[in-house]
Amino acid sequence: LKMDETETYAEAMEVSRRDILGQMAMAGLLKDVSVSEEEAKAYFEKNPSEFATEAKAKAKHVLVEEEAKAKEIKEEIVSGAKTFEEAAKEYSTCPSSQRGGDLGTFGKGQMVKEFEEAVFTGELNTVIGPVKTQFGYHLIWVDEVNQGNVPAYDEAKEQIRTKLINKKQQETYQNKLDELRGKYIK
In 3-state terms the chain splits into helix, strand, coil percentages (rounded to 5) of: 60, 20, 25
In the predicted structure, residue 186 carries a pLDDT above the cut 80: no
Assess contact for 101 and 94: CB atoms under 8 A. Answer: yes
Number of H helices, E strands in the chain: 6, 4
Phi, psi angle pair for 167, to nearest 5°: -65, -45
| E strands, the chain, in order | 56-64, 102-107, 127-133, 136-146
Q: What is the pLDDT of residues 123-172, one digit of tens each?
A: 999 999 999 999 999 999 999 999 888 889 999 999 999 999 999 999 99
Stated pTM of the model: 0.60
Q: What is the DSSP letter of 37?
A: H
